[in-house]
Structure 1
Amino acid sequence: MDISSTVEIGGYQLECCPMTVADIPRLHELSVSVSWPHRADDWAMALALGRGWVARDPIGRVLGSAMWFPLSEDVASVGMVITSPKLQENGTGRWLMGRILSETAGRARVLNATKEAYRLYVSLGFRTLAEVSQMNGIITACPDFPCHARPMRPEDRAAILALDEAAMGLSRRAVIETVLALSEGLVIERAGRIEGFSLMRPFGRGRVIGPIVALDEADALALTGPFVAAHPGAFLRVDTREPQGAYRDFLTAAGMTRYDTVLRMALEALPEPAGPARTFGLVNQALG
């Protein structure tokens, strides 16, 4: 693939430059231009956890971005792939992905594809694994939910890291430790053993609940319901791979409707989760 440092696309001379903290204001402008909800702080978290490239024109405008995140030594998540509306369909995304795929060679690559980028990823060899529903909205009600979760405590940290690793099939310690520092949390404890957890933090237009790791829908509801009950009139979001069922019905009844969908895709085989708990809610679409 093309990994040249400069290219002419759509009449623009573009240079592929390493992404830095100084780019955050322009990256925020770029994400706003395609109606993504990310705040400057959300970009800052992404930069703290990953590495990226920007497509910059001669007067310093950022017209494209792409990032990858080392989830483990063997797996990389690709995300924050954005092309300015001026250059969509002109090859900017493919050019940036060439750099990302070159840097991540030797790792299994996974991503969540928007409708706009799906054809690009298929052409690069990615295969579809699952649909992810972006559920969000203003909380207008709080349906009944099981009440067997408790607030997270500092001593729960090791168990939370272990549960996430079992549900993902890999250790993404840096991701979870970063999210823990920004979040409120709930856990489910049975006979002294932590069997589920959820985290909620500021993101985009309001707050996102995720990750959510639980044994079943009842536990997932217990780990989501208290956050919903505590935030009437607030904007909440959950990104979930769960199909229609009790969990999705709860989110919808609370006011979080399906705003959009993306497709989880992989270029190589991914590690198998150890279970028995599974991921009901993502950290975000870039980090899984």
Structure 2
Amino acid sequence: MRCSCPKTASRGLRLSESASDSLQVSSFRLRLADIADVDLKHLHTLSIGVGWPHRAEDWQFLREVGKGVVAIDDIGRVLGSAMWFAYDTDFATVGMVITSPRLQAKGAGQWLMGHVRSRLDDRDLGLNATHAARRLYLSMNFKPEAIVYQCQGEAQDPPAFLSASDIVLRPIGPEELDTIADLDEIAFGANRRPLLEKLLSQSRSIALLRDGRIAAFSLCRPFGRGHVIGPVVAETDDDAIAVIRGHIIEHKGAFLRLDTREKKGPFFRFLDDCGLSVFDTVTSMSLGRKRPAVAQGASTKIYGLASHTLG
């Protein structure tokens, strides 16, 4: 999850309670609205204004799988946003927390996050914070867990890779949704079946079968400047490489992205060899329980995030 608001200071802020439906900032007032009621072009303008790659189609996808609020000024401009994605009864991710440059350091990010938390009851929360937003989330008692490496670039021919002889690679069938959802839950720590169903409808998929069962999988879909690979779920680096290699070959010469917490080992080196070098980093943070996705010693894990926002 990326947030463009670098400070939590409340200069210019006159607010009686953090979850108020309006916010007076300097000489203008913001009101809160449901993100589902906003024209996509206004959301796209908001993300462009802070240099984020999201297309209007990416915003629409997020609105279909999550909920959110926006900050609107007196003349109808969308100047801020925040979204949440409830995966089960006790866990959600937070993302798309954006404030326009004119609102930064004026308390708008904290105001929006207050509304997010008020709508999520007692759920534990996870997010991915930019360098600028990290101070805000630390002030709200989020704890750092791990670094996410945003690997991207023009995809190149992957190096030679000898797959194990006991595996089969093929697309995921719609009847296998429950199987991959169970595998993803082990790695992620929460059930994301509805999200995976939606992702499957928009993605090319690769499953790795061993002894007749799915042991790893990856999805690849249009996003931002090109395509993004994720989620990638596997037990070993070799299995993770096996399920992304086909995507890289398919998109050779085009822009490709994969977000991972792996900083060393064969999987990370493979990404670099394929032209997907580290462009930026964010910090995975949590409020409440730590997810198996970043726990030490996890056997099945998330090698590639669905996105910064979705985890």
TM-score (norm 2): 0.89
Cα separation, 1, equivalents of 2:22 and 2:177:
45
Please show how residues 1-288 of structure 1 align to structure 2 within 5 Å.
2-147=18-163, 148=167, 149-272=169-292, 276-288=299-311
Q: Is the 8 A contact 2:46 2:80 kept in 1?
A: yes
Q: Is the 8 A contact 1:146 1:218 kept in 2?
A: no
Cα separation, 2, equivalents of 1:22 and 1:83:
16
Report Cα offsets for 1:242-271 as digits up to 9, x if no partner.
Answer: 122211111111111111111010111145
Q: Is the 8 A contact 2:260 2:304 kept in 1?
A: yes
Q: Is the 8 A contact 1:10 1:87 kept in 2?
A: no
Cα separation, 2, equivalents of 1:104 and 1:151:
35
Number of residue pairs aligned between Structure 1 and Structure 2: 288
Q: Is the 8 A contact 1:49 1:175 kept in 2?
A: yes
Question: Per the alignment, in what secondary structure is the counterpart of residue 51 of structure 2?
Answer: coil
Cα separation, 2, equivalents of 1:129 and 1:271:
9
Question: Per the alignment, in what secondary structure is the counterpart of residue 299 of structure 2?
Answer: coil
Cα separation, 1, equivalents of 2:177 and 2:136:
39
Q: Is the 8 A contact 1:188 1:219 kept in 2?
A: yes
Give 5+ residue unaligned stretches, structure 1.
Answer: none
C-alpha displacement of 1:154: 3.1
C-alpha displacement of 1:58: 0.8
Question: Per the alignment, in what secondary structure is the counterpart of residue 106 of structure 1?
Answer: coil
TM-score (norm 1): 0.96
Q: Is the 8 A contact 1:240 1:282 kept in 2?
A: yes
Cα separation, 2, equivalents of 1:33 and 1:22:
17
C-alpha displacement of 1:241: 0.8
Cα separation, 1, equivalents of 2:161 and 2:63:
36
The one-letter amino acid of 2:72's match is: R
Higher deviation after alignment, 17-26 or 177-186: 17-26
Identical-residue share of aligned pairs (%): 44
The one-letter amino acid of 1:15's match is: R
Cα separation, 2, equivalents of 1:73 and 1:26:
31
Q: Is the 8 A contact 1:133 1:240 kept in 2?
A: yes
- 1:252/1:10 Cα in 2 relative to 1: closer, same or farther (>3 Å)? farther
Report Cα offsets for 1:66-100 as digits up to 9, x if no partner.
Answer: 01110111101110000101111111101101111
Question: Per the alignment, in what secondary structure is the counterpart of residue 99 of structure 1?
Answer: helix
Higher deviation after alignment, 111-120 or 19-28: 19-28
Question: Per the alignment, in what secondary structure is the counterpart of residue 141 of structure 1?
Answer: coil
Q: Is the 8 A contact 2:177 2:193 kept in 1?
A: no
Report Cα offsets for 1:25-56 as digits up to 9, x if no partner.
Answer: 11111101111111111111111111111010
Cα separation, 2, equivalents of 1:70 and 1:146:
39
